[in-house]
Structure 1
Amino acid sequence: MRKHLFVLFSCLFVVNIGFGMTLPVLTFYTERLALAEGVSRDGISLHVGLLTSVYAVMQLLFAPLWGRFSDRLGRRPMLLLGIGGYAVSLLTFGLASNLALLYLARVIGGIFSAATYPAAAAYVSDRTNGEERNRGMAWLGTAASMGVVVGPALGGVLANRNWHFRAEFGHFVADSFSIPFFAAAALAIATLVVAVRWLPESDSNDYVAKPTKSVGVGWLELVRTLRPLLVLAFIGQFGLALFEAIFVLYANARFDFGPFEVGAIFVICGLVMALFQGILVGYLAGRVRESNQIVAGFTLMGLSLGLLATTRIAGSVYFLVAFLALGMALIAPNLSALVSKQTDQSNTGAALGIQGMANNLGQSGGPVIGGALFVLSVGTPFLVTGGLLLATGLIVGLRTLSSSRAETRFG
């Protein structure tokens, strides 16, 4: 079992390297094609935002569907489909010669990448139980986070080299800008080969002539069952996405941070999330209740954002962002573990897909609200969101305390 989970985590790590590799060059790639089509500078900013958003919207729409399909057809087919489709999107991106093809590549990427994480999380859920599931979800998050940390560095290295080549194939063009995307596609294809060869189905007996009734729980019933956890997932991702979107503007306006300082801070954020999801959450599994870890996570995120809004000491930013990342590391794997425990195995994929939809809603809404609040003042987005996260932690903490007292009284 451990060997198969290691293969799964390795696949997710490599796929997220591919995702991360595109981050440093997406804006420059879009700018180059937009300028060639006569788009204005303001129009370029709009296209960069839309290309980012359309990816998240596709994930939002398709994650629940892929999750449901993984319940009916198996986790492995959805994982293979997601990895293969994502490789196609990266190749399309690298060969794009106009903005229309760029949008097509992002749509394809959003649709198929949405199949990967819900199926992977459901795979972990199938292969684990109890506190082992919490550890499994934590290591799954670690694998994804580490890929996103390694990817931008590798993508930046490849993008900064002048490869001195250009080839045209009808509407498709390959040149130096294409290299990071081709490299990411090659990694995805290699991952697909590894998964086909060494990743078995999580439990093949579950997907052979399974009666329709076993997966008959409707979407609305699942949403009602999971509603409190979905709200928490939305708020957590909302806070993280707002921070990621606004931090560059905030850091430049308040501390005159440049690309190097901002890049270093994002690396710290990714490393803390990756390491502590695997180490700390794995250690706490079975020792501290998931709800208590989630309360601590929201409290850390809220305090960190609130202090970021008020600090005038540049050096403190590094520590506050690290604590913010630690908070998210406590929230994400525990929420996934609780979601998987709220449903039976025949609906785990659908439940985790719906959680993915809540995550994507938060990821879409955070930057929009953050941008609107930033107009008021530099610190307002972090101050308001920090208050929301602290209030969430307080409410969950009070409900957890009330539940614990009831269990003590009647247990």
Structure 2
Amino acid sequence: MKKPIKDQKAVLIILLSNIFIPFLGIGLIIPVMPSFMNIMHLSGSTMGYLIAVFAVAQLIMSPFAGRWVDRYGRKKIITLGLFLFGISELIFGVGTHVSVLYLSRILGGISAAFIMPGVTAYVADITSVQERPKAMGYISAAISTGFIIGPGIGGFIAEYGIRLPFFFAAGIAFLACISSMFILKEPLTKEQLAENFDNNKQTNFIGDLKKSLNPVFFIAFIIVFVLAFGLSAYETVFSLFSDHKFGFTPKDIAAIITISSIFGVVVQVFMFGKLVDILGEKKLIQLCLIVGAILAVASTMISSYLAVLTVTCFIFLAFDLLRPALTTFLSKAGGKEQGFVAGMNSTYTSLGNIVGPAMAGILFDVNINYPYLFAAVILVIGLGFTFIWKENKLAESLAE
């Protein structure tokens, strides 16, 4: 019989720290990217590619990492992921040529592909079915907290040197790696790992991808793609946009992102359930897409610090509500195919995270306002798809 969460606090804290650290590390570097860009004379398109290549590496490695988690054990893959993340941050911190930065981002994407399924599987192994939703909620909160705290810490650390946030991220990753090696125990026996691996041999990523192109599924996954595309495109150029257009310092940018993220998470925690009850998932998704598109356009027309902070708070809120609304609907409709739905949700999110930053970087070099305007167009296209989205057909098809 599995122990309740309250009796496994030490293990859970280590696991949540392991998932928190990569997202903290990603958040740490956001405020210093404009300064880094200027010092190394990088273009906006190069900055976009550096973000996109992380998602490419994660997308390619994820199917393999998922199987290795089942074959070689949760603990080994988690610790390897943390070690690779530390190395990637260290390389970025000392890098003086763009090719070295690309290598760092590729390693970072691989590390994320290892850490996320490893931690998720470990938590699922040690929790009961009744307590699993609560535990998965803790994982989501750890990820959000990393994003919230990261930019703030990064902005203040950068006051002592723009490369220092990368070394800080590397240090805490290595510390977490060592802690995990000594504190965590593999939750499954060798026999259980072998059985899991044999069962997963039947899964086929290419087959699932083809299945997702069925019109019944495709609309829902296109909206997943649109969300990831719009959010990543907006976030990719936010610090560059704020630096080039307004002259904001890393500390200014860190404060805006931190305040906006906290605002979004607080409203999400206390209001999301009520909004779903009042509007339903589909109407909430449509409302968030409309608000996101309007505010993306508004971002090109404002100039004061307070106006930028206000608009950013509400556009982050729109994305913070859109993501769980879409995930909740897909989870409800998933029926017996939760694995397929979750896997394709991750795949289309990664695709959006690849294309969004790349396009945003290219457009930034053409005109500083174009990435936001293009993100608005993509969100409007996503809104159009929602009007031909038949939720009942998706639910029925998944149930068959």
With the length of structure 1 as denominator, give the TM-score of the two structures. 0.73
Q: Pick from 177, 194, 200: which aligns with 1:192?
A: 177
| CA-CA distance at 1:305 after TM superposition | 2.3
**Separation in structure 2 between the aligned mates of residue 201 and residue 272 of structure 1, nearest angstrom:** 37
1:78 paired residue number: 77
CA distance in 1 between partners of 2:342 and 2:93 (Å) = 31
Q: CA shift at 1:160, angstroms?
A: 1.7
Q: CA deviation at 1:321?
A: 3.5
The match for 2:290 is 302
Counterpart CA distance in 2 for 1:100 and 1:377 is 28
Whether the aligned pair in 2 keeps the contact of 1:302 and 1:389 (CA below 8 Å) is no
Separation in structure 2 between the aligned mates of residue 269 and residue 188 of structure 1, nearest angstrom: 26
Within 5 Å, which residues of 2 pair with 1:35-54? 41=41, 44-54=43-53
- Name the amino acid aligned to 1:110: G
Q: Deviations 1:283-333 (Å, cap 9, x if unpaired)?
A: 679x959x9436514521332322442586765654443343333333434
Structure-1 residue corresponding to 2:17 = 10
CA distance in 2, matches of 1:219, 1:77: 23
- Is the contact made by 1:300 and 1:327 (CA closer than 8 Å) also made in structure 2? yes
1:8–1:120 Cα contact (<8 Å) kept:
yes
| 2:232 equivalent in structure 1 | 241
- Pair 24,92 (structure 1): closer, same or farther in 2 beyond 3 Å: same
CA apart distance, 1:85? 1.0
Relative to the length of structure 2, the TM-score reads 0.75
Distance 1:318 1:126, change over 3 A: farther
Cα deviation 1:197-239 (Å, max 9, x = unaligned): 4444455574144462453121133335556354332121112
After superposition, the Cα gap between the structure-2 partners of 1:76 and 1:115, relative to the gap in structure 1 and judged at 3 Å, is same
Equivalent residue, structure 1, for 2:168: 183
Q: 189-198 vs 307-316, which deviates more? A: 307-316
SS at match of 2:29: helix
Residues 158 and 310 of structure 1: is their aligned pair in 2 closer, same or farther, counting only changes over 3 Å?
Answer: closer
Residue 29 of structure 1 contacts residue 177 of structure 1 at CA under 8 Å; is this kept in 2?
Answer: yes
* C-alpha distance 385-63 of structure 1, shift in aligned 2 (>3 A): same
Q: Compute the displacement of 1:83 (Å).
A: 0.9
Q: Does 1:366 align with 2:351?
A: no
Correspondences of 1:241-260 after superposition (within 5 Å): 241-247=232-238, 256=246, 258-259=248-249
- Runs of 5+ consecutive residues of structure 2 not aligned to the other structure: none
Q: 1:344 to 1:115 in 2, by over 3 A?
A: farther
Identify the match of residue 379 of structure 2 among 376, 386, 394: 386
Aligned-residue offset at 1:368 = 4.2
Structure 2 letter corresponding to 1:11 = N
Q: CA RMSD of the aligned region, Å?
A: 4.2
Distance 1:185 1:343 in 2: 40
Q: Is the 8 A contact 1:82 1:113 kept in 2?
A: yes
Matched positions, count: 376
Residues 180, 325 of structure 1: CA spacing in aligned structure 2 closer, same or farther, 3 A cutoff?
Answer: closer
Alignment-mate amino acid for residue 306 of structure 1? I
* In structure 2, C-alpha distance between the alignment counterparts of 1:31 and 1:22, rounded to whole Å: 14
Aligned letter for 2:349? Answer: N
Deviation at 1:89, TM superposition (A): 1.6
- 146-155 vs 320-329, which deviates more? 320-329
Unaligned 5+ runs, structure 1? 35-40, 162-175, 407-411
Distance 1:361 1:147, change over 3 A: same
Aligned-partner SS, 1:61:
helix
Mapped to 2, the partners of 1:294 and 1:78 lie a distance apart of 37
Aligned-residue sequence identity (percent) comes to 24
Q: Partners of 1:197 and 1:335 in 2: how far apart?
A: 38
Question: Does the 8 A contact of 2:49 with 2:358 survive in 1?
Answer: no
Contact map agreement 1:9 1:143 (CA 8 A) in 2 = yes
Q: Match of 2:384, as an amino acid?
A: A
Counterpart of 1:106, as a letter, is R
Does the Cα contact within 8 Å between 2:284 and 2:325 map onto a contact in 1? no
Say which SS state the counterpart of residue 217 (structure 1) adopts: coil
Shift of 1:240: 0.8
Q: 1:207 to 1:390 in 2, by over 3 A?
A: same
Counterpart CA distance in 1 for 2:335 and 2:73 is 16
Whether the aligned pair in 1 keeps the contact of 2:31 and 2:151 (CA below 8 Å) is yes
Tell me whether 134-143 or 55-64 shows the greater mean CA deviation: 134-143
Distance 1:365 1:5, change over 3 A: same
Paired with 1:83 and 1:319, the residues of 2 have a C-alpha distance of 36
Q: Residue 323 of structure 2 aligns with which residue? A: 332
Where 1:55 maps in the other structure, the secondary structure is helix
Instruction: State how far apart, in whole Å, the 2-side matches of 1:69 and 1:109 are.
Output: 18
Write the distance in 1 (CA, Å) between the matches of 2:156 and 2:241: 26
Structure 2 partner of 1:215: 201
